[in-house]
Amino acid sequence: MPPSPPLPNLVPFFTQALKNYQASGSRFRVLCSLPAIASSPSSPPSTSDPDALPPRHPPRSLLILDSSFNPPTLAHQGMVLSAASASPPPHRILLLLATVNADKAPQPATFPQRLAMMHVFARDLLDALPSPTSPCAQNSNGENGAEEEAQTIVDIAVTTEPYFSSKSAAIAASGFYPHPAPEQVFLAGFDTLVRIFNPRYYPPGAMRAALAPFFARARLRITARPGDPEYPLPAQTGYLSDGTRRAELAEWAGRVEIESVGEGGVSFMTGRDTTTNNHNNSPWLSRQYSGNWVALDENERRDEDAMGK
């Protein structure tokens, strides 16, 4: 396979975009969108700043990968590709970075660095996704959309909300995705499922009040994590049917899908640990990201002062 064309250093763009977002007081904002028609490896990357492209027609579903992207991994890629293959078109992919996280401090990579990595990762996703079989696809109203709507588009966005329930509400309230609002499908690992149903992440007695509107507009597609010392794979896939949780979670069980993987599957912490120790040769990194790690790292260090790091 011929090498991918060099990617522009987008850290200055995302540094400024993040400053503008922080000054706006908004809870959610799409910073840019990558259409598949612009992602071909044979086409040189655009030298202009990326734009956010609101859908002209409502997608059926919005596939949301909410992660720290520190860094993006092939485990992340596998989750998105699996969900996209199981979701009828038209759908849209949203890569979401929370600038306020309930558990994790922003290190070692700064937020502009992570957004630049997400942009590279999005290009990899679009290269890996199959091309549409026809130039047009029907939208959720049964109308034929333009060629742009038939192509999968990846949005890169930020939010100040730390929890899935509030992130979902902020996305719905943003107005970026037109009505009828697409069904939100949050893609996550099994550890995230455990946190979502952990009362300590909510004010006292407020978990049900937070999750009821969340599951009214969204569902969860969970990928089991091999090697979890507390929850072996059978315990993960049977989590929702466990007798101690069945009554508590029964009303939402139908909104949660747990995707089983083999023991040789990729877990996210394993992927992250591998990239930390061996950036250029890691099997967990996306193809373009792995090849551009050094260039990104060298360029982005010069931009850290702009964010006060």
Pairwise pLDDT comparison (269 vs 14), residue with the higher score: 14
Residue type, 268: F
Q: How far is CA 15 from CA 111, 203, 306, in A?
A: 8, 33, 7
User: What confidence score (pLDDT) does residue 104 get?
Assistant: 57
Collapse the DSSP code of 156 into the 3-class scheme (helix H, G, I; strand E, B; otherwise coil) and give the result: strand
**How far apart are alpha carbons 194 and 188 in whole angstroms?**
11
Report whether 227 contacts 236 (CB < 8 A).
Answer: no
Q: What is the pLDDT of residues 18-27, one digit of tens each?
A: 999 999 999 9
The whole-number pLDDT of residue 39 equals 42
What are the φ/ψ torsions at residue 231 (nearest 5 degrees)?
Answer: -125, 95
What radius of gyration do the chain's Cα atoms show? 19
What is the maximal distance between C-alpha atoms in the chain? Answer: 56
Residue 233: per-residue pLDDT: 87
Q: Given pLDDT bands bounded at 50, 70 and 90, which one contains residue 144?
A: very low
Least confident of 85-94, 124-133, 159-168, 223-232: 124-133
Instruction: Read off φ and ψ for residue 83, nearest 5 degrees.
Output: -65, -40
- The partner residues of 34 in beta bridges, in order of sequence, read 154
pLDDT tens, residue by residue, 189-246: 998 998 888 888 888 988 889 999 999 999 999 998 888 888 888 888 888 777 556 5
Checking if the pLDDT of 87 tops 70, the result is: yes
Range of weakest confidence among 41-50, 56-65, 247-256, 287-296? 287-296
- In this prediction, residue 32 carries a pLDDT of 96
Q: What is the pLDDT of residues 246-290, one digit of tens each?
A: 566 778 888 999 987 644 444 444 344 434 444 444 444 554 444
Whether residue 41 has pLDDT greater than 70: no
Angle, to 10 degrees, between the axis of helix 11-24 and the axis of helix 287-301? 80
SS3 state at 145: coil
Asked if residue 183 lies in contact with residue 61, where contact means CB atoms within 8 angstroms, the answer is yes
Q: Determine the Cα–Cα distance for residues 291 and 107; give it in Å rounded to an integer.
A: 22
| pLDDT (0 to 100) of residue 215 | 95
Q: Which of 39, 14, 57 is nearest to 157 (CA)?
A: 14
CA angle 66, 174, 100 (to 5 degrees): 40
For 46, phi then psi, to 5°, come to -65, 145
Tell me what pLDDT residue 36 has: 61
CB 222 within 8 A of CB 189: yes
What confidence tens digit (pLDDT) does each residue in 170-195 have? 999 999 999 899 999 999 999 899 88
* Residues 114 and 70: beta-carbon distance below 8 Å: yes
Those residues whose C-beta lies under 8 Å from the C-beta of residue 65, and which sit 6 or more positions away, are: 76, 79, 80, 93, 94, 95, 96, 187
Global confidence as pTM? 0.79
> So what's the pLDDT on residue 26?
96
According to the model, what pLDDT value does residue 260 have? 75
